[in-house]
Amino acid sequence: MKVKYITHTLLIFILFSGLSFAQFGNVDVTFDDRLLRDGDRQQLLLLKDEIKRFFQNTEWDEEYSDLEIPLHIQIIFEGTSSKGSEKVYLSQALFSNGIDQRYFDKTFQFTYNESGSLYYDAVLFNPLSSFLAYYANLIIAGEADTYELKGGNKFYEIARAIALRGAASDYPRGWTERIRIENLLSSNHGLRKVRLATYYGIELFEYGKLESATKQFHKMIVGLDEVYNQTSRDHYTILFMNGHAERLSEILSILRLDSILNDLIELDPDNREIYERGLSVSSE
């Protein structure tokens, strides 16, 4: 559990000490390249390390500089095609923080020059680095939302700008869908409230601030109600709750917040058994 509660003195120290931390911590990249020809596979030998360095060495933001988000990336290669004199790799990709964010992209195409290196350009579009930067900003946006309400706004805006450039580029495949995904996430105000209230509530509980934690868990239910009223089966909300159901059930049973556990049974039916176990422990 990352720590968000921080004393004023320590905050000042961090701001003025010149400490530098990365947005992404451990980056794990795996390839499924069984469908590629040997020559095409050989050309990608350096790409895994390039992708790791791309995420870890890029300064994505100055304010949120100590997130150390773990990142898991899987790229599944489907083959290659030609576009003029360039070879285009066709693939699918999965991005996850291993907890509560997971994005699967079915239509990823890119070119790769093994003699160059990946870098992020905020203006110029590149089918590979811009694709990676899009998902970097989506994941940071979700993380920033756990620190302050709508803290991820600027990252969603960056992701949308990248997607718009992609849709207008010579490599438009998949970018219309990425515009749609960014819009779904940034406009899902209920989920964004849930993110903040869940993380803040758990952290307050761990600091022994039980009354304040309880207030946050009630706010979490308000956010889930908002999601439920818009669409009862929102994919990204389900993923988020799956990542936290066990811990929430444990804490809520300790606090004997049976009403919230009952609300979760209704609002998050995928994890019904987990919340029911929490209720049984609470009643002991």
pLDDT digits (tens, 9 = 90+) for 202-225: 999 999 999 999 999 999 999 999
Residue where a domain stops, chosen among 137, 161, 187: 187
More confident residue, 255 or 8: 255
Supply the range of the domain harboring residue 202: 190-282
Q: Which two tokens mark 48?
A: 């895994």
In a domain, 4, yes or no: no
Instruction: Note whether 179 and 70 are same-domain residues.
Output: yes
DSSP string over 134-161: HHHHHHHHHHHTTTSTTTTHHHHHHHHH
Contact 114, 89 (CB under 8 A): no
Give the pTM.
Answer: 0.92
User: Are 79 and 113 within one domain?
Assistant: yes
Determine contact, residues 51/58, Cβ cutoff 8 Å: no
Number of domains in the chain: 2
Q: Cα dist. 188→34, 145, 182, 201 in Å?
A: 38, 12, 10, 20
Q: Summarize pLDDT for 150-198 with one digit per residue, the tens.
A: 999 999 999 999 999 999 999 999 999 999 999 999 999 999 999 999 9
Same domain flag for 129 and 262: no
In a domain, 2, yes or no: no
- 161 and 130 in a single domain? The answer is yes
Q: Which pLDDT does position 107 carry in this prediction?
A: 94
Confidence of residue 66 (pLDDT cuts 50, 70, 90): confident
